[in-house]
Amino acid sequence: MRHSRAPGLRLRPVPELGACLAYTPAAPRLHQLNATAWLILELVDGRDDTALEAAFFERTTPALNAETARQTLEAGLADLRAGGLLQRIPFPECLP
């Protein structure tokens, strides 16, 4: 499984506030992302979920232990999906 950003998603980093603004045009809404959600969204770049998890662990160690990082990533992905910022993309059963 992998994730992708919602079509048309627009991001405006506000690093001086440690945040990022995200606009979802499909369901018009402005979201303010904290640093963790912003990091997750930046790491969603086409890699599969295993690679995404490894990249998140790399960026959050030693601040978070492995279990806390896993829970934080899962919760963050769920929140971003619920807000319409991310979508799940299943791997194809077979490649052409």
pLDDT digit string, tens, across residues 60-76: 999 999 999 999 999 99
Examine the pLDDT at 92 and tell me if it is beyond 90.
no
Number of folded domains that form the chain: 1
Q: What DSSP element (H or E) covers 93?
A: none
Q: Is residue 57 one of the residues assigned to a domain?
A: yes
CB 9 within 8 A of CB 83: no
Owning domain of residue 32: 2-85
CB 28 within 8 A of CB 15: no
Examine the pLDDT at 83 and tell me if it is beyond 70.
yes
pLDDT digit string, tens, across residues 13-54: 998 988 999 999 999 999 999 999 999 999 999 899 999 999
Q: Which amino acid is at 16?
A: E
- The shares of helix, strand and coil residues in the chain, as percent rounded to the nearest 5, are 45, 25, 30
pLDDT at 3: 94
Claim: this prediction has a pTM higher than 0.75: yes
